[in-house]
Structure 1
Amino acid sequence: MRTWTIANQKGGVGKTTTTVTLGGLLAQQGKQVLLIDTDPHASLSYYFGVDADTLTSSVYDIFVNKATIDADTVLNCLCPTKVDGLYLLPASMALATLDRQMGSEPGMGLILKKALATVSQKFDFALIDCPPVLGVLMVNALAACDKVLVPVQTEFLALKGLDRMMKTLKIMGRSLDKQFDTLIVPTMFDRRTNAAIKAQARLMTDYKQDVWQGMIPVDTRFRDASLAQLPASVAFPKTRGVHAYQQLLERLSVSKAHG
């Protein structure tokens, strides 16, 4: 199982859209895909019509039952989606209490990694949608992955947030003794605005080695797809936004072939 974490310490940059669309494309290729919501705001869960306030089991249970985690514990938390092969491990509001409850306990950063290892034979891919805050949840998501995707809105305030995220990855890499395979994904690109064009140019200058050469355009169909509780690749497969994510997935597949 390959695990990708979608992370940025700034909200509203397209993390959930990236998680859902890539997950949908992979499922449409016949892959078994697990989407994991580690954000207490539960945007990924709500996307698929799962109400985080009424759940009886969620990713929170994995942390609470960390001492006895097994495949059944994980599988019992899963929700199916409307797409064959695409499953959701939903979030709950209780996740917001984890840092206070368990943040200082030893081994807290590796719980999600251990949990995913128990179901690694059942899925081809796991995609983890992160909260925009560095805490025990983001630490777990980073420790569990073999690739980090960093969506960045093509505007200057978002670039400031990217600087912070890249520093976090360096610090976390030293702490976990791993070098993150990182790809920055420019999102919400509007070629009609000078600000977006300048921000894209700045990205390429400052982070050339780590930036995907393409970009995800502004596309209102992403919003329409969320209303339908479907990945845009299923609801509106011919749109430019989906085409851009297809190109991104091809880039990720190439990196796998060479990695």
Structure 2
Amino acid sequence: MKIIAIVNQKGGVGKTVTAVNLAVGLAREGKKVIAIDFDAQGSLTVSLGYSEQDKMDTTVSTVLEKIIEDKPIAPDEGILHHEEGIDLLPANIELSGLEVTLVNTMSRECVLREYLKTISNSYDIAVIDCSPSLGMLTINALTAADEVIIPVQAQYLSIKGMEQLFRTIGRVRKQLNPNLQIGGVLITMADLRTNYTKDIISLLHNSYGRKIKIFDSVIPLSVRAAEMSAEGKSIYLHDPNGKVSIAYKGFIKEVG
């Protein structure tokens, strides 16, 4: 099972929209995919149509607590089956409490990795939607992942914040997960009509293009992407012929 973490400590850069459309897009290509919500706000869970996430009895927190306490986990425990052909391990506010618990846990960075080993034979790909921070949950995701995809909004401050993320990835690679790769940077929410956006994209390529893959697909700014989250559907169902859908289809081909 290949594990892809969608990471950026800055909020509002299109992480969850990217996680939904990456997971569903890969499933449409015939892959068996599980999406894992690793944000206490439960954005991925809500975006896939499960709006009452705080009433859920079993979530990612439940199974990780069982890993910490060395209790058995049922093969399908907590996993929801979405109509678009992916599975989801949901999250809710309980994940905030788990982050506090992890601080005093042995091998605290490896708890998610241990859980993913238990389901690795059931899926081709896991897509982890991380919280907008570089705390213990995100470190767990990076320790478990084979690859990181970094969505970046076409704005100067978004690019400025990437240095800190690269340092964190470097530390995780050195100390916890030597196989961790940066799959690439995905430019999101880009208003391609403006010179400002074009300048930011050029700055990104000039600053990082030699060291890190920057996906050719650029996700345009569109109200359709915001509507998608409220509908509980991927962009492929919500607006199949729209520019965001076409851009994500191109991105899926690049991810492979």
Corresponding position of 1:49: 49
Once residues 79 and 177 of structure 2 are traced to their aligned partners in structure 1, the CA distance between those partners, rounded to angstroms, is 31
**Which moved further from structure 2: 8-17 or 62-71?**
62-71
Once residues 201 and 69 of structure 1 are traced to their aligned partners in structure 2, the CA distance between those partners, rounded to angstroms, is 51
Once residues 59 and 140 of structure 2 are traced to their aligned partners in structure 1, the CA distance between those partners, rounded to angstroms, is 15
Corresponding position of 1:214: 217
Corresponding position of 1:180: 180
Could you tell me how far 1:125 is from its partner in structure 2? 1.1
Corresponding position of 1:240: 243
Does structure 1 retain, via aligned residues, the 8 Å contact 2:14–2:151?
yes
Distance 1:187 1:69, change over 3 A: farther
Once residues 92 and 27 of structure 1 are traced to their aligned partners in structure 2, the CA distance between those partners, rounded to angstroms, is 24
Corresponding position of 2:12: 12
Once residues 56 and 99 of structure 1 are traced to their aligned partners in structure 2, the CA distance between those partners, rounded to angstroms, is 18
Distance 1:127 1:186, change over 3 A: same
Q: Deviations over 1:162-193 (max 9, x none)?
A: 12211211122112141531111111111112
Corresponding position of 2:116: 116
> 2:191 is paired with a residue of what secondary structure?
coil
> 1:188 is paired with a residue of what secondary structure?
strand
Corresponding position of 1:141: 141
Unaligned runs of 5+ in 1: 254-259
Once residues 99 and 62 of structure 2 are traced to their aligned partners in structure 1, the CA distance between those partners, rounded to angstroms, is 15
> 2:202 is paired with a residue of what secondary structure?
helix
Is 2:72 aligned against 1:76? no
Q: Deviations over 1:29-58 (max 9, x none)?
A: 222210000100110011123222101010
Corresponding position of 1:38: 38
Distance 1:100 1:71, change over 3 A: closer
Corresponding position of 2:62: 61
Corresponding position of 2:168: 168
**Which moved further from structure 2: 86-95 or 221-230?**
221-230
Q: Any residues of structure 2 matched to 1:187-226 within 5 Å, and which?
A: 187-208=188-209, 209-210=211-212, 211-226=214-229
Percent identity over the alignment is 30
Once residues 104 and 132 of structure 1 are traced to their aligned partners in structure 2, the CA distance between those partners, rounded to angstroms, is 22
Once residues 99 and 120 of structure 1 are traced to their aligned partners in structure 2, the CA distance between those partners, rounded to angstroms, is 23
Once residues 188 and 241 of structure 2 are traced to their aligned partners in structure 1, the CA distance between those partners, rounded to angstroms, is 18
Distance 1:190 1:70, change over 3 A: farther
- How many residues matched? 251
TM-score by length of 1: 0.91
Distance 1:70 1:190, change over 3 A: farther
Could you tell me how far 1:68 is from its partner in structure 2? 3.0
**Which moved further from structure 2: 110-119 or 143-152?**
110-119
- TM-align CA RMSD: 1.6
> 2:116 is paired with a residue of what secondary structure?
helix
TM-score by length of 2: 0.93
Once residues 94 and 199 of structure 1 are traced to their aligned partners in structure 2, the CA distance between those partners, rounded to angstroms, is 38
> 1:216 is paired with a residue of what secondary structure?
strand
Once residues 28 and 252 of structure 2 are traced to their aligned partners in structure 1, the CA distance between those partners, rounded to angstroms, is 12
Does structure 1 retain, via aligned residues, the 8 Å contact 2:47–2:228?
no
Could you tell me how far 1:246 is from its partner in structure 2? 1.5
Does structure 2 retain, via aligned residues, the 8 Å contact 1:24–1:234?
no
Post-superposition, which runs of at least 4 consecutive aligned residues in structure 1 deviate over 4 A?
Answer: none
Could you tell me how far 1:132 is from its partner in structure 2? 1.1
Distance 1:175 1:152, change over 3 A: same
Corresponding position of 1:257: none
Once residues 222 and 132 of structure 1 are traced to their aligned partners in structure 2, the CA distance between those partners, rounded to angstroms, is 19
**Which moved further from structure 2: 53-62 or 173-182?**
173-182
Does structure 2 retain, via aligned residues, the 8 Å contact 1:70–1:118?
no
In terms of fraction of residues, the more strand-rich structure is: 2
Does structure 1 retain, via aligned residues, the 8 Å contact 2:146–2:179?
no
Corresponding position of 1:94: 94
Could you tell me how far 1:17 is from its partner in structure 2? 0.5
Could you tell me how far 1:70 is from its partner in structure 2? 5.1
